[in-house]
Amino acid sequence: MIYPTIQTEDPAVYEIMKREEQRQKEGIELIASENYVSRAVLEAMGSTLTNKYSEGYPGKRYYGGNEIIDQVESLAVERAKQLFNAEHVNVQPLSGSPANLAVYMGLLNPGDKVLGFSLDQGGHLSHGHPLNFSGKLYTIIPYFAEKETEVIDMDKVEEIALREKPKMILAGFSAYSRDFDWKRFKAIADKIGAFTFADIAHVAGLIAGKQLENPVPYFDVVSTTTHKTLRGPRGAMIMCKEQFASAIDKAVFPGVQGGPHDHINAAKAIAYGEALKPEFTNYAAQIIKNARALATALQGKGYRIVSGGTDNHLMLVDLFGSKQITGKEAEKCLEHVGISINKNMIPFDPRKPMDPSGIRVGTPAVTTRGCMEKDMQTVADLMDEALMNRSDENKLTEIKEKVKQFALRFPVPGVE
């Protein structure tokens, strides 16, 4: 992209931006929570809509001059409703954790019990980690994957729920490669009169693309980020049944936020419009095909995939168990050759969180660039070659060039 004004007015920032652009072009992006947005989304984020302040909601603002801003926020809301079959949508949350905080505040009182997926098993910080607001303000009861299968046993979830009787059941994850049984979660919650809250941040695009089941028709409240598989700007939204609309809206504003970011809401509207097009369904399907192909290719090289495979866009690779390589070591090595992944704990990991046994790998970004199943074999080859030669600087330099030549075959949307 060309940034003539930045280049002139602030060459230091310009130089950093161009180097990051080059890194994205020449590297293979396998971080499961990252993606590339369209040029239209990029343009909206840099628009004059950022100049407006609009505390409140359409038709009920605290400042004047919002008649046009009301239109763009309303458009985003209507498109989100259509995309997810939602009764009510709030598009103002600035990111995933504030969105989840608003859900807690809207439905619960401090100290209430919440049943959530444990972080070390694949859950998220905001699902009850003791250092997070969720763990500090609420009584978190964790559920886990089974040690033998590394898959959640819903009978065990029901057993815990019936015993503990939480006020809310939270279903969602950040590092779990299997689909969730939304209907079963709802049935369990109904037995004890608990609220149902789904965090679909990672799989929202796969749900919008009709590849995974949509929890919105069943659950009381559903939150999601708007980037990741949904391929929109950095941000979030909350969807809920109409009966919870007032509580959720008040929790977002004035509960945890001030004015929304109107330029981001415009970018969300554009991204939702893109996701409503037929080609987005093809994209979502390809993400899963690529993830399964990559998992199979890595398994063929002796790497253990947690739970044996994937139903979505990501996988956890047990490097220490299969190759005696730590997640920290692998992340550093792969980054050195231009492949981005993140170290990650695996279920029942014997190692520490900052140097765990595994890595998390995802396919949304490479799929956006146009990679297909056959390309996943090349990606696996490059990963394996780097990891097997991690102490050979000359070899790693050769592999970095291979990564670059592979990546440059696939344009970066919005940039090229």
A 10 A CB-CB count for 110 gives 10
Based on the domain organization, do 103 and 239 belong to the same domain? yes
Peptide bond between residue 4 and the one before it cis (omega within 30 degrees of 0)? no
Based on the domain organization, do 268 and 300 belong to the same domain? no
Q: Could you tell me which of 95, 98, 148, 143 has the C-alpha nearest to residue 119?
A: 143
Q: Which residue has the tokens 């690529």?
A: 290
Based on the domain organization, do 156 and 212 belong to the same domain? yes
281 within domain boundaries? no
Which phi and psi (to 5°) does residue 172 adopt? 170, 170
Total domains in the chain come to 2
- For 74, how many CA atoms within 13 A lie in the half-sphere containing its CB? 10
- Considering just the CA atoms, what is the radius of gyration of the chain in Å? 22
Based on the domain organization, do 173 and 26 belong to the same domain? no
Domain end position, chosen among 245, 275, 305: 275
396 within domain boundaries? yes
Beta-carbon contacts of residue 412 (< 8 Å; ≥ 6 apart): 24, 25, 36, 369
d(CA 128, CA 135): 4
Query: For residue 2, what pLDDT is reported?
Result: 82
A 10 A CB-CB count for 213 gives 16
Residues annotated as catalytic are 53, 55, 199, 225, 228, 234
Walking along the chain (416 residues) 10 residues at a time, the average pLDDT comes out as 92 97 97 97 97 97 97 98 98 97 98 96 92 94 97 98 98 96 98 98 98 98 98 98 98 97 98 98 98 98 98 98 98 98 97 96 98 98 98 98 98 88
Structural domain of 105:
43-275
Strand partners, 240: 88, 221
Query: For residue 327, what pLDDT is reported?
Result: 98
CATH number at 271 reads: 3.40.640.10
Based on the domain organization, do 57 and 114 belong to the same domain? yes
Domain end position, chosen among 243, 275, 307: 275
Domain end position, chosen among 233, 254, 275: 275
Instruction: For the chain, give the secondary structure using H, E and C.
Output: CCCHHHHHHCHHHHHHHHHHHHHHHHCEECCCCCCCCCHHHHHHHCCHHHHCCCCEECCEECCCCCHHHHHHHHHHHHHHHHHHCCCEEECCCCCHHHHHHHHHHHHCCCCCEEEEECHHHCCCHHHCCCCCHHHHHCEEEEECECCCCCCECHHHHHHHHHHHCCCEEEEECCCCCCCCCHHHHHHHHHHHCCEEEEECCCCHHHHHCCCCCCCCCCCCEEEEECCHHHCCCCCEEEEECHHHHHHHHHHHHHHHCCCCCHHHHHHHHHHHHHHCCHHHHHHHHHHHHHHHHHHHHHHHCCCEEHHHCCCCCEEEEEHHHHHCCCHHHHHHHHHHCCEECEEECCCCCCCCCCCCCEEEEECHHHHHCCCCHHHHHHHHHHHHHHHHCCCCHHHHHHHHHHHHHHHCCCCCCCCC
Query: For residue 1, what pLDDT is reported?
Result: 77
d(CA 340, CA 345): 17
d(CA 180, CA 204): 13
pTM over 0.85: yes
Based on the domain organization, do 78 and 207 belong to the same domain? yes
Based on the domain organization, do 60 and 23 belong to the same domain? no
Query: For residue 63, what pLDDT is reported?
Result: 95
Indicate the length of the chain as a whole number: 416
Query: For residue 300, what pLDDT is reported?
Result: 98
324 within domain boundaries? yes
Beta-carbon contacts of residue 148 (< 8 Å; ≥ 6 apart): none
Based on the domain organization, do 119 and 159 belong to the same domain? yes
For helices 373-388 and 327-336, what crossing angle results, to 10°? 110
Q: Which residue has the tokens 């859900």?
A: 103
Query: For residue 415, what pLDDT is reported?
Result: 85
414 within domain boundaries? no
Query: For residue 414, what pLDDT is reported?
Result: 84
d(CA 321, CA 304): 7
Q: Is the dihedral of CA 73, 75, 76, 77 positive or negative?
A: positive
The beta-carbon contacts of 302-305 under 8 Å, at least 24 apart in sequence, are 303/384, 305/177
CATH number at 322 reads: 3.90.1150.10
